[in-house]
Chains A and B, each alone.
Chain A
Amino acid sequence: MNSTIPSTPPTNTTPDVDAAHSSSLEVRDLTKTFGEHQVLRGVSLKITAGRTACVIGPSGSGKSTLLHCVNRLEEPTSGDVLLGGRSMLAQSPDALRRRVGTVFQHFNLFPHKTVLGNIVLPLRTVRGLSAQQAEQIAMERLAEVGLAAKAKHRPANLSGGQQQRVAIARALAMEPEVMLFDEATSALDPELVKGVLALMHGLAERGMTMLVVTHEMGFAREVADEVVFMDRGLVVEHAEPAAIFEDPVTSRLKGFLSQVL
């Protein structure tokens, strides 16, 4: 009766990601300074192609800034970003962003376009596809996130969870080699979180390289191949989920986990 509450998304429709298509992602000694404030103080991490890394940490630890530096929505102060082993900072930001998909906390769908139009627009302007090709790809991606029936709706008429699934479909339509998730479920009502996490889980299983900033410790524990704990602009611990959650080494991680678990 109420269209704002989506049914649990069917698990057999996880997006079709070609594992061979995803790339490794590496950041080397990344720093970012805003005026006097040093938000990232030399972050290095490497994610092998096809693996999922979850970044956890207290607010203000630099998690989101790290993501923004990876796709250069913020220009890193120093350090390097490598995609498939090749440095990306020498190239144009657009070249990097075409290969990296980003999903935001607040979805950032285009409200003046239909759901379909949201996916068609970047396909046409960035990948230069014809209207027909773009629509075909957009419909395929929408079907994969279980929202083909909503193609002609405006984003405002969708629930938050549905909007986020459209945003994921929009990013996937660009055929990225790496996906970044910036607290993708933080703005959602609790009952809508599951559908988005299931979709991300499916993506991870299909071999997409993913860097996921999240507050969902359950997701980090179950889905991540590795977990990165950040605090005050540094990577404090980087290990497999079991090691992070069952056997934290530093007192900072212990303190953080005792607060969130």
Chain B
Amino acid sequence: MFENILRSFFDTEAMWAVVPDILAYGLRNTLVLALAATVIGIVLGMVLAVMGVSRSAWLRVPARVYTDVFRGLPAILTILLIGQGLAPLTSQWFRGNPYPLGILALSLISSAYIGEIFRSGIQSVDTGQLKACRALGMSYASAMRLVVVPQGIRRVLPALVNQFIAIVKDSSLVYFLGLLTSQRELFRVGQDAAVTSGNLSPLVAVGICYLIITVPLTYLVNWTDNRLRTGGRVAQVVDAQAEAKAAEIERTDRELAAKAGR
């Protein structure tokens, strides 16, 4: 039985057979889809976040509705609706190519999440920062752009990397749109090989590829998160000062005790 399991999941021959396709198409397309959706998602997400913290309901409410819709729908539903629904309307530009629409759908989904990440970052910045800017005569726009948003973004970098990991995984769903051979991302490459070889090992091989991308990123997040929490260099300086002060107090105490003892 153990041999059976080994053969259906870890057939080395079938795994090696899929490697050329992984390297030629799978990895590249997965990364292109995920990176493009992240970049567009960051741009749209920033717009959503700034709208979301606006005092005007005309900006806030649309951002809220957009976010609720795209975060609330299953990714596969959005991808199918956008990918197939918009295909006839965009055929003059994309000529039936589903790839750009796949990127668009992933971007719309990721922008909703990234918008919320940015918004929470912006709102975590002390209101005194905006007050100080306004008191100096800066406009609301330049206060946000130069002071509030830069501080907010720094705090949410770990959450952004998490979001990238989610998009890497979700990018597999564009295979539902039907891709050309050269457009296949990791999952589709593995799926095709699994079907032709009648063996699941190629899917295990692409699974390993996903892990090679996502696991190091997860640890990068944990590491930066820790650094942010302990404050990195700044906290070390403050700690060092506190330690020096504590040492001084202790020394004084000892001297006083010695004096009293004498």
Contact = CB atoms under 8 A, between A and B. Distances in A.
Interface in B94-124: none
B128 A104 contact: yes
A71 B135 CA distance: 7
B136 A112 contact: no
B227 to A, nearest CB: 15
Given A94-B139, A121-B146, 9 more contacts: A4-B245, A94-B137, A97-B134, A106-B128, A122-B137, A125-B138, A125-B146, A156-B237, A170-B136
B149 to A, nearest CB: 10
Contacts of A2: 241, 244-245, 248
Contacts of B244: 1-2
Interface in A136-186: 154, 156-157, 167, 170-171, 174
A2 to B, nearest CB: 6
A94 to B, nearest CB: 5
A108 to B, nearest CB: 4
Main secondary structure of the interface of B (DSSP, over half): helix
Interface of B: 126, 128-129, 131-139, 142, 146-147, 150-151, 154, 234, 237-238, 241, 244-245, 248
A126 interface: yes
16 contacts: A2-B248, A71-B135, A94-B137, A94-B139, A97-B135, A97-B137, A102-B132, A102-B135, A108-B129, A121-B146, A122-B133, A122-B136, A125-B138, A125-B142, A157-B237, A174-B137
Given A104-B132, A108-B132, A98 B137 contact: yes
Q: Which of the listed residues A73, A106, A125, A170 has the most CB atoms from chain B within 10 Å of its own CB?
A: A125
B136 A157 contact: no
A104 B132 CA distance: 8
A6 to B, nearest CB: 13
A49 B147 CA distance: 33
A3 interface: yes
A112 B245 contact: no
Contacts of B234: 154, 156-157
Contacts of B151: 110-112
Main secondary structure of the interface of A (DSSP, over half): loop
Interface of A: 1-4, 71, 73, 93-94, 97-98, 100-102, 104, 106, 108-112, 121-122, 125-126, 154, 156-157, 167, 170-171, 174
Given A126-B137, A174-B136, A174-B137, A112 B241 contact: no
Contacts of A71: 135
Nearest to B133: A122
Nearest to A155: B234
A187 B100 CA distance: 55
Contacts of A1: 244
Can you list the 6 inter-chain pairs with the closest CB atoms, starting with the nearest? Answer: A108-B132, A102-B135, A98-B137, A108-B128, A122-B136, A126-B137
Contacts of B131: 73, 104, 108
Contacts of A111: 151
A12 to B, nearest CB: 28
A108 B138 CA distance: 14
Contacts of B237: 156-157
Nearest to A3: B241
Contacts of B133: 122
B105 to A, nearest CB: 35
A178 to B, nearest CB: 12
A122 B143 CA distance: 10
Contacts of A154: 234
